[in-house]
């Protein structure tokens, strides 16, 4: 039996085009990252940026290249971490991480749109900021409502144009530095005057580094889009292409970050980069207006606004690839979540709500954005550390990899904690997302509890023979029986009791059905049914996450494929029905008779024949 669910049509594209889509958020940070570095670190900005580049290339890139290999379907660091936290604890850990991922992705969309509006209006205080931000979000949703093809075409144009324009701006800045070498001398004198002790200088750089960590956004999205990559060698080719995507994207960004930091530090007066100054949040635009004329600078500003607006596309792509791959399979979201267009509408509605709550303020959303980015980077580093430890312990993997990933994880943990201490409002916002996802997921799971939940049922040869033999008559009796180590005498006594109490004639076949619980936190999985003969008694045995749902699914499948009436026989179990309902939701068992009856009632319309439930 197969339960059909809506299929998501996967549109695939060359890895470099997908890189442009996921890189929208990543590369758009060039619009403000050099200014942030200059405002936070002053003369130390190039050194702080060098640390950022080192952490990116030696930390984030190795971590996420391994994650790409270990999560080929695009679930990212969450699926790697989930392997080491089984059961309900693992499910709640996933929901919490999805909450932080939602924080990252949603705030990326709203913050980028708000930042683009601020660039257009040249202020954050205009009464038009809110309407313009909402209009930009609606435009972004409209693009994705049509499909990924449109989004990727726009992304390719924007990213290539933006990188080319920044290459011109930075190149002109480096030319000015070469023409005025005294700028380098003045910088060196300022640096060693302010920080005569190299150790003090290094300590300050370490303290400043967390403020620059937004330059590492986009890695989780980079692995979430693996299914969108087009290759000729299947899943292995997608993984290889995504690993290339991550390395190339990070390498390009590192070059731009390092060179832009040098140019802005040497050419922009420190006071102009402070909050409220002409270079605040737009350091490279300041360089453009200073050296490249009004015409070029206008084009540069327009493209900067466009990429800031469309930076939310990478976040939208992350949500559309990540959330539907987790919640529906846990039974924690309705089936329509697996379809793109309803998800786009829902995400757009949430983005509107966030924008209204935060009054389209870039500053108020920045802390939540940083928190989401850093938690995902930290979870990825912790996940691969656990994976490397497992490999070293069970498969003879190199222990130095475990130690290396552990060191990377420690760096990200420090960065995350430092950011949360400085900007605790980001954690507060993330908590609302987490609570929303956990509550809605549990409500959805409870609402869907009476589904059959089994996507596929397969029978071995002996089980098929037993079912065919039982279907020869007009009726078949299936007795729900507790799984255990039972003797033939136990089965014969139970069969005699069932026949006597329910007046079942000896001519009517009886088959015992035993369901053993496996990971009860799972919602659905294929069911394998094995036939076993214990003396003269026929027994069907299987494992499932929920006993009532498995019994109902097997009974319905036999009923649908055989011209015979099905009678299901149960015995009442003692206990409170309220307690049993809670046990059913979280432990997969309860008042099985009543639950099986309700599941079958919902599957078959009123007035139609269906398997009958008998309780004694």
The DSSP result for 264-330, as a single string, is HHHHS-GGGGSTTSTTTT-HHHHHHHHHSHHHHHHHHHHHHHHHHHHTHHHHHHHHHHHHHHHTGGG
Please tell me the predicted confidence (pLDDT) of residue 587.
61
Orientation of helix 129-146 relative to helix 87-121, angle to 10°? 120
Identify whether the C-beta of residue 437 lies closer than 8 Å to the C-beta of residue 323.
no
Q: Name the pLDDT band for 504 (thresholds 50, 70, 90).
A: confident
Pick 365 or 244 by higher pLDDT. 244
For residue 299, the Cα-to-chain-centroid distance in whole angstroms is: 36
Please tell me the predicted confidence (pLDDT) of residue 157.
92
Closest CA to 130 of 429, 140, 138: 138
The Cα 235–Cα 238 span in angstroms is: 5
Q: Which two tokens stand for residue 263?
A: 């140019």
Beta bridge partners of 182: none
Beta bridge partners of 615: 570
Q: What is the mean pLDDT of residues 307-328?
A: 78
Identify whether the C-beta of residue 124 lies closer than 8 Å to the C-beta of residue 341.
no
Identify whether the C-beta of residue 430 lies closer than 8 Å to the C-beta of residue 368.
yes
Please tell me the predicted confidence (pLDDT) of residue 513.
94
Q: What is the mean pLDDT of residues 6-32?
A: 77
Please tell me the predicted confidence (pLDDT) of residue 575.
64
Please tell me the predicted confidence (pLDDT) of residue 511.
92
Does residue 320 have a pLDDT over 60?
A: yes
Residue-wise pLDDT tens digits, 340-384: 778 888 888 888 998 898 888 877 787 788 888 888 889 889 989
Does residue 435 have a pLDDT over 90?
A: no
Give the SS3 label for residue 613: strand
Does residue 122 have a pLDDT over 70?
A: no
Residue 306: partners with Cβ closer than 8 Å, 6 or more residues away: 116, 158
Of 51-65, 434-448, 500-514, which range is least confident? 434-448
- Side-chain-facing half-sphere of 544: CA atoms under 13 Å: 32
Pick 84 or 514 by higher pLDDT. 514
Identify whether the C-beta of residue 159 lies closer than 8 Å to the C-beta of residue 313.
no
Does residue 164 have a pLDDT over 90?
A: yes
Of 160-169, 173-182, 215-224, which range is least confident? 215-224
To the nearest whole number, what is the mean pLDDT of the chain?
Answer: 84
Please tell me the predicted confidence (pLDDT) of residue 4.
40
Residue 385: phi and psi, rounded to 5, are -65, -45
Cα angle: 360, vertex 366, 372; to 5 degrees: 120
pLDDT above 90 covers a percentage of the chain that reads: 22
The Cα 461–Cα 296 span in angstroms is: 74
The residue with tokens 């994705």 is 144
Q: CATH for 15-446?
A: 1.20.1740.10
For residue 490, the Cα-to-chain-centroid distance in whole angstroms is: 49
Strands (DSSP E) along 527-579, which ranges?
Answer: 527-534, 537-544, 565-570
Q: Name the pLDDT band for 300 (thresholds 50, 70, 90).
A: very high
Does residue 3 have a pLDDT over 50?
A: no
Q: Which two tokens stand for residue 468?
A: 């065919």
Local structure of residue 456 (DSSP, 8 states): B
pLDDT above 70 covers a percentage of the chain that reads: 92
Local structure of residue 541 (DSSP, 8 states): E
Please give the torsion angle defined by the CA atoms of residues 419, 425, 427 and 433, in that order, rounded to the nearest 10 degrees: -140
Please tell me the predicted confidence (pLDDT) of residue 463.
92
Of 12-26, 119-133, 383-397, which range is least confident? 119-133
Does residue 9 have a pLDDT over 60?
A: no
Q: Name the pLDDT band for 92 (thresholds 50, 70, 90).
A: confident
Q: What is the mean pLDDT of residues 549-556?
A: 91
Please tell me the predicted confidence (pLDDT) of residue 391.
87
Residue-wise pLDDT tens digits, 443-493: 887 778 788 887 789 999 999 999 988 888 788 899 988 888 888 888 888
Give the SS3 label for residue 609: coil
Does residue 308 have a pLDDT over 50?
A: yes
Q: Name the pLDDT band for 2 (thresholds 50, 70, 90).
A: very low
Does residue 6 have a pLDDT over 50?
A: no
Please tell me the predicted confidence (pLDDT) of residue 94.
82
- Side-chain-facing half-sphere of 384: CA atoms under 13 Å: 31
Identify whether the C-beta of residue 92 lies closer than 8 Å to the C-beta of residue 332.
no
Local structure of residue 569 (DSSP, 8 states): E
H or E stretch covering 139 = helix 129-146
User: pTM of the entire structure?
Assistant: 0.76
Domains in the chain: boundaries: 15-446, 457-615
């Amino acid at each position: 039996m197969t339960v059909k669910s809506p299929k998501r049509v996967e549109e695939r594209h060359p890895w470099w085009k997908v890189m442009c889509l996921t890189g929208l958020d990543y590369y758009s940070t060039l619009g403000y990252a050099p200014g942030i570095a200059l405002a936070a670190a002053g003369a130390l900005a190039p050194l702080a940026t060098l640390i950022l580049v080192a952490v990116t290339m030696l930390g984030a890139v190795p971590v996420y290249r391994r994650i790409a290999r270990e999560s080929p379907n695009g679930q990212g660091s969450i699926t790697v971490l989930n392997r080491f936290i089984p059961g309900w604890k693992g499910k709640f850990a996933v929901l919490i991480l999805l909450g932080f991922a939602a924080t990252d992705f949603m705030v990326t969309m709203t913050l980028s749109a708000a930042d683009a509006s601020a660039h257009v209006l040249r202020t954050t205080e205009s009464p038009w900021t809110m309407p313009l931000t909402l209009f930009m979000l609606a435009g972004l949703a409209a693009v994705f409502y049509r499909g990924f093809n449109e989004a990727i075409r726009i992304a390719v144009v924007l990213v290539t144009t933006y990188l080319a324009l920044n290459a011109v701006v930075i190149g002109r800045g480096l030319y000015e530095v070469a023409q005025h070498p005294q700028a380098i001398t003045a910088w060196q004198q300022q640096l060693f005057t302010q920080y005569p002790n190299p150790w003090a200088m290094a300590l300050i750089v370490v303290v400043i580094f967390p403020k620059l960590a937004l330059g590492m956004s986009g890695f989780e999205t980079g692995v979430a889009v693996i299914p969108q990559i087009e290759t000729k060698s299947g899943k292995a080719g997608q993984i290889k292409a995504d690993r290339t995507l991550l390395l190339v994207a990070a390498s390009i960004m590192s070059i731009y970050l390092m060179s832009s930091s040098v140019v802005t530090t040497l050419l922009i007066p420190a006071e102009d980069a402070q909050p409220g100054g002409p270079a605040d949040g737009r350091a490279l635009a300041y360089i453009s207006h200073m050296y490249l004329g009004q015409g070029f600078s206008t084009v540069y500003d327009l493209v900067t606004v466009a990429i800031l607006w469309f930076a939310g596309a990478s976040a939208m792509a992350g949500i559309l690839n990540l959330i539907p791959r987790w919640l529906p399979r846990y039974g924690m979201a309705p089936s329509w979540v697996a379809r793109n267009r309803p998800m786009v509408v829902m995400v757009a509605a949430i983005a509107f709500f966030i924008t209204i709550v935060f009054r389209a303020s870039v500053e108020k959303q920045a802390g939540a954005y940083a928190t989401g980015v850093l938690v995902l980077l930290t979870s990825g580093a912790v996940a691969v550390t656990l994976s490397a430890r497992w490999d070293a312990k069970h498969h003879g993997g190199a222990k130095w990899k475990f130690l290396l990933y552990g060191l990377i994880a420690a760096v990200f943990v420090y960065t995350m904690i430092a950011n949360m201490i400085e900007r605790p409002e980001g954690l507060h916002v993330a908590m609302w997302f987490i609570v929303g996802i956990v509550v809605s997921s549990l409500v959805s799971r409870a609402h869907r509890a009476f589904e059959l939940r089994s996507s596929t049922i397969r029978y071995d040869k002996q089980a098929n023979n037993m079912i065919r033999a039982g279907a020869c008559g007009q009726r078949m009796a299936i007795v729900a029986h507790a799984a255990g180590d039972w003797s033939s005498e136990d089965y014969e006594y139970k069969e005699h009791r069932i026949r006597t109490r329910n007046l079942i004639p000896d001519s009517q076949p009886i088959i015992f059905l035993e369901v053993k619980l496996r990971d009860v936190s799972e919602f659905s999985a294929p069911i394998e049914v094995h036939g076993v003969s214990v003396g003269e008694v026929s027994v069907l045995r299987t494992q499932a996450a929920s006993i009532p749902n498995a019994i109902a699914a097997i009974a319905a499948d036999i009923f649908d494929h055989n011209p015979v009436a099905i009678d299901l026989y149960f015995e009442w179990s003692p206990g409170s029905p309220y307690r049993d309902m809670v046990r059913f939701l979280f432990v997969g068992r309860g008042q099985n008779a009543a639950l099986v009856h309700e599941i079958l009632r919902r599957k078959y319309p009123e007035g139609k024949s269906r398997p009958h439930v008998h309780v004694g």
